[in-house]
Amino acid sequence: MPADTRGASARMGCFNAFTAVEADHLSATILDGLALARQIQSEVAQDVAGFTQSTGVVPCLTAVLVGDDPGSEVYVRNKREACRKLSIDGRVERLPATTSLDELLVLVERLNADPRVHGILVQLPLPPSVDAARVLEAVNPAKDVDCFHPENVGRLVQGRPRFLPCTPHGIRRLLARHSIETAGRRVVILGRSDIVGKPLANMLVARGPGGDATVTVCHTRTRNVEEITRQADILVAAMGRPRLVTAAMVKPGAVVIDVGMNRTEAGLCGDVDFEAVRDVAGMITPVPGGVGPLTVAMLMVNTLAAARLQQP
């Protein structure tokens, strides 16, 4: 799927803006992911209306929710509400925490075979007794709108994706819509998860718009992390550790993307010490209101794409 880009002239303007930010970084520009997500959803709503009018088909996303994890309940509710606003058929299959692997695989196979279901989302985490890898691999790759199936991961690595993973895709859209150039820039990603770190690294090193970056992925075994992060033109924090990124870890004028969503006694916070880092960074995403809403928006994009792919 092509990145959202504004062309060569905009990219040159972005480079000039980037260097200007480096010279004057008294307070970072806030990258409003919520506003962008609303814009993307408005665009998707128009596309859904046109698709349904021309085909008579309503795109359908079915979420599979096992157990009663409070965080998962919130995520699924938000996704279903997004479906409702965009006239996508949002369904939820709820199963008790005692559900066995075999029972879950039977449900997935039923959804695979249902032509009315275009996207399948298995909400993670699954109960410890269930092999999540087996479940994700059972989803039809053409309906795998989270891009977790090995086939879709392989296609992403090869540079010919069927879908782009939702959170990394949202990050790339955020960079593109703010004319933040990636080509030739040094990107450091904190975290090597299959959901964010690894796929985002693959997307940013790919040839073409939204890629061509020089990417370093840091993790729990990385030495001298602060020395590495201070070299980053774009720093992405995706570790799930509250306020781990301090001002001392950030290059003046850098773009800081905070993927973290941590619930603490003091409330919701990201992986970045926002108040301290905003005085060093050139641009920064807030938590909440940054990357999170974009993840849901890109899921809607993938659901419509899946419905289109499945048309005879």
Residue 156 has pLDDT above 80, yes or no: yes
Ordered domains of the chain (ranges, CATH): 8-31+178-294 (3.40.50.720), 56-140 (3.40.50.10860)
pLDDT, tens digit, for every residue of 86-131?
999 999 999 999 999 999 999 999 999 999 999 999 999 999 999 9
* Catalytic status, residue 114: no
Print the SS3 string covering 192-214. CCCCCHHHHHHHHHCCCCCCCCE
pLDDT value at 299 more than 60: yes
- Tokens representing 269? 């916070």
**Does 146 qualify as catalytic in the annotation?**
yes
Residues 6+ apart with CB under 8 A from 53: none
Paired tokens of 178: 């703010």
Cα(195)–Cα(214) distance, integer angstroms: 20
Measured distance between the N- and C-terminal CA atoms of the chain, rounded to whole angstroms: 20
Range with the poorest average pLDDT among 19-33, 51-65, 186-200, 260-274: 19-33
pLDDT of residue 26: 59
Percentage, residues of the chain above pLDDT 70: 92
Give the 3-state secondary structure of residue 170: helix
312, pLDDT greater than 70: yes
39 part of the active site: no
Residue, of 191 and 5, whose pLDDT is higher: 191
The pLDDT tens digits for 29-75 are: 999 999 999 999 999 999 999 999 999 999 999 999 999 888 889 88
pLDDT reported for residue 69? 86
Ranking 20-34, 84-98, 184-198, 224-238 by mean pLDDT, the lowest is 20-34
Model confidence at 24: pLDDT above 80: no
pLDDT averaged over the chain? 92
- The band of 302, judged by pLDDT with boundaries at 50, 70 and 90, is very high
Coil, strand, or helix at residue 97? coil
DSSP secondary structure of 21-40: HHH--SSPEE--HHHHHHHH
Question: What is the percent of the chain with per-residue pLDDT over 90, rounded to a whole number?
Answer: 86
Indicate which residue of 79, 143, 198, 251 is catalytic. Answer: 79
Q: CA-to-CA distance for 24 and 39, rounded, in angstroms?
A: 30
Class of residue 96 by CB neighbours under 10 A (exposed 0-12, middle 13-18, buried 19+): exposed
N residues, the chain: 312
Q: Which member of 41, 89, 144, 146 is catalytic?
A: 146
User: DSSP letter string over 80-96?
Assistant: HHHHHHTT-EEEEEEE-
Spot the catalytic one: 41, 89, 123, 233: 123
More confident residue, 124 or 266: 124
Paired residues of 282 in beta bridges: none
